[in-house]
Structure 1
């Protein structure tokens, strides 16, 4: 199953969904430090450490350090990993509202992490993209 590549179709049909909860970015030296890997939303191995994203409550339970509390928005449209312009379009829309975004492109959907306090404003900006 391949995703959509046409930017106009992607923008017109994407459905941003604000996922419940608060999410945080933490680091560990290696994954063996994680008590329950099933509670990790995603991880990425960088040169310096492994970044893990998980629910804030889980990070607190595991006594992990974080400084950024995020909301998680999923763009519910199957975008192709080869699609051109989608990330730029939504990043620019969020930039216009002075909202920082951290993006994860997974196989089926794009996921955007924004500061918790910007969640509703970000949703409005993303919905406005459908009108363009």
Structure 2
């Protein structure tokens, strides 16, 4: 944000990146859907980047704490 401000770039929303520290194999069918559903149920918009070892979820900065809580609750349900 500070770089964008310094360079005069316009933006509407600031996002936080949440990195899921579990190995997200392609064999883990439904992982991204489950995370998206948990966030959707809390009314949180997100963009997911699925990478080779970890997934990254971008959420509006104002929703970051609620997003982390929703994802932790999802983890607790499945552990």
What TM-score range do you get, normalising by the shorter chain? 0.7 to 0.9
Is 1:114 matched up with 2:59? yes
Match of 1:131 in 2: 76
Structure number having the greater helix percentage? 2
- Count how many residue pairs are aligned between Structure 1 and Structure 2: 77
Structure number having the greater strand percentage? 1
Unaligned runs of 5+ in 2: none
Match of 1:26 in 2: none
Is 1:96 matched up with 2:41? yes
Question: Which 4+ stretches in 1 moved above 6 angstroms?
Answer: none
Unaligned runs of 5+ in 1: 1-55
C-alpha separation in 1, matches of 2:18 and 2:49: 10
TM-score, structure 1 normalization: 0.54
CA-based RMSD of the aligned residues comes to 1.3
Cα deviation for residue 82 of structure 1 reads 4.7
